[in-house]
Amino acid sequence: MDRRNFLKTSAFCIGVSTITASGRRKETAEKVRTPLEVMGYVTEPAKQLPLIASADIVVVGGGPAGVSAAVSAAREGADVLLIEKHNFLGGLWLGGLVLPVINTRGKTPDGQTIQVMHGFGKEVIDELLGMKMCIIKNERPVVDPEAAKYVLDCKIEDSGVRMLYNTYVTDVIMSGDRIEYVIVESKSGRCAIKTKLVVDCSGDGDIIEWSGESFEKKRCHIGMMWRTGGVNIEHKEATPVPGVINQHMNGEPDQDGLDIFNVSRLQQKFRKEMWNRVQELRKTPGCENAYLLETPPITGVRITRLLDARHKILKEDSMKYVEYEDTIGLGGTPRGRRPHWQIPYRALLPKRCPNLIVAGRCICCDDKMLFDMREVGTCLITGQAAGTAAALAEARRTSIQDVDINLLQNTLVSRGAKIR
């Protein structure tokens, strides 16, 4: 047996941190089962990490849920640090060029179509409409990504949120069931940040796994969107910028979004397809001068992990106008043609960790709800609720699970949210 094959079949480290089937972290000397081809293991030497910051609340991920959570918590008086791995806000929404803001409307029991996204999300869209950097297309807002990044930056700055760009959260340090430190890596090195509460808006449920909470791992459809300029015809995928359209490809279904080799393969494949699609578009009259204006810096991974929370949102319930005493917002549907549905607070709550709450596309739901749960409108709504709850928990020195639900609901409504 040669060295390469030996490494593929051998595990030679002691005390590797692994995840059980339930998602709970434990120490073991057994080989880790991962989707990657594991060639072996090495032991990382223990070392002291510099403590570079502390905050009442650390929000992980600067997508729509993360920005909404950070700003909402800061507006309630909390000291908030938002950590984002890219150099811009907006996550997969703006970095993935998913420019239509979907799931902002839904039907009432008497058949009326109403706006369900209020509060922080509506505030952002209204500002973009006023800047003429948002249009309504097919009954839903379509935003300009650079204008939206600017608006989100302004919201963060105006609310007093501290910001770390180009910074990856790579682990947490627990004290019992509580998260005590968040570990980050950047050009400043590997460092620690002390925190009292964490809002996981990573999209992939990174903190869920690292804190030892249980979760479901999901495979998903991975695709990509891009912007094409020089289009001088009326187009169904028009954007707020004249001559610029927002195109998409179907991509590939049933993919593992946590397998970085697989995601890298798809990225290369999709980039070639984007280029070829634009060349094909140039054969259309009025598009002879079309050009590839912008490719997305974020690959379109839609779902990877889902929290195993205190309540699972079911598609069946969403179609029946089921009401919850702990509702924190209303979810919509792509064009408002199906019933709106209540989002219970318990779907954001882990079962064990008292200082962790989750928002965005990894909150707890069944497979049939994945499409509705991951859309931008829903993420903005759950982000506002999670950030507000974290601020209330910190102010009253209580666990995130023991937040007074009536106080949370009243605070959300006072900030413009619609919960029923």
60 and 209 in a common domain: yes
Band (179; pLDDT cuts 50, 70, 90): very high
What is the total count of domains within the chain? 3
203 and 178 in a common domain: yes
| Residue 50 maps to a domain | no
Position 36 pLDDT exceeds 80: no
| Domain at 111, CATH number | 3.50.50.60
What are the Cα distances from residue 167, in Å, to 71, 95, 164, 264, 291?
19, 16, 6, 20, 32
* DSSP per residue, 181-210: EEEEEETTEEEEEEEEEEEE-SSS-HHHHH
| Residue 89 maps to a domain | yes
351 and 271 in a common domain: no
The per-residue pLDDT for range 288-341, each reduced to its tens digit, is 999 999 999 999 999 999 999 999 999 999 999 999 999 999 998 877 778 999
Mean pLDDT over all residues of the chain? Answer: 90
The Cα angle at residue 93 between residues 415 and 153, in degrees rounded to 5: 55
175 and 146 in a common domain: yes
350 and 340 in a common domain: yes
| Residue 13 maps to a domain | yes
| Residue 419 maps to a domain | no
Band (155; pLDDT cuts 50, 70, 90): very high
Helix ranges (H only) for 60-171 are 64-75, 91-95, 119-130, 145-159
Bridge partners, residue 141, by sequence = 136
Check if the beta carbon of residue 50 is closer than 8 Å to that of residue 362: no
| Residue 226 maps to a domain | yes
265, 300, 335 - which closes a domain: 300
The per-residue pLDDT for range 229-241, each reduced to its tens digit, is 999 999 989 999 9
Please list, residue by residue across 279-300, b when 16 or more beta carbons sit within 10 angstroms of its beta carbon and e when fewer do.
eebeeeeebeebebbbebebbb
309 and 195 in a common domain: yes
70 and 200 in a common domain: yes
The per-residue pLDDT for range 73-101, each reduced to its tens digit, is 999 999 999 999 999 999 999 999 999 99
- Count the alpha carbons within 13 Å of 244 in the hemisphere toward its beta carbon: 19
274 and 346 in a common domain: no
Position 34 pLDDT exceeds 60: no
The C-alpha atoms of residue 71 and residue 162 are separated, in whole angstroms, by 10
185 and 82 in a common domain: yes
Bridge partners, residue 182, by sequence = 172, 193
Put residue 148 in one of left, alpha, beta given phi > 0 → left and psi -120 to 50 → alpha.
alpha
Q: What is the dihedral of CA 323, 67, 156, 77, to 10 degrees?
A: 40
Check if the beta carbon of residue 392 is closer than 8 Å to that of residue 402: no
The C-alpha atoms of residue 101 and residue 91 are separated, in whole angstroms, by 13
Check if the beta carbon of residue 184 is closer than 8 Å to that of residue 168: yes
241, 266, 300 - which closes a domain: 300
| Residue 64 maps to a domain | yes
369 and 264 in a common domain: no
336 and 197 in a common domain: yes
Displacement of CA 82 from its chain's centroid (Å): 13
| Residue 51 maps to a domain | no
Position 23 pLDDT exceeds 90: no
Position 404 pLDDT exceeds 70: yes
Band (35; pLDDT cuts 50, 70, 90): low
317 and 405 in a common domain: yes
Displacement of CA 7 from its chain's centroid (Å): 36
- For 268, the domain range is 220-300
Tell me which of 21 and 365 has the higher pLDDT: 365
The per-residue pLDDT for range 5-14, each reduced to its tens digit, is 433 333 333 3
| Residue 47 maps to a domain | no
Q: What is the pTM of this model?
A: 0.90
Torsion over CA: 280, 284, 289, 292 (sign): negative
252, 277, 300 - which closes a domain: 300
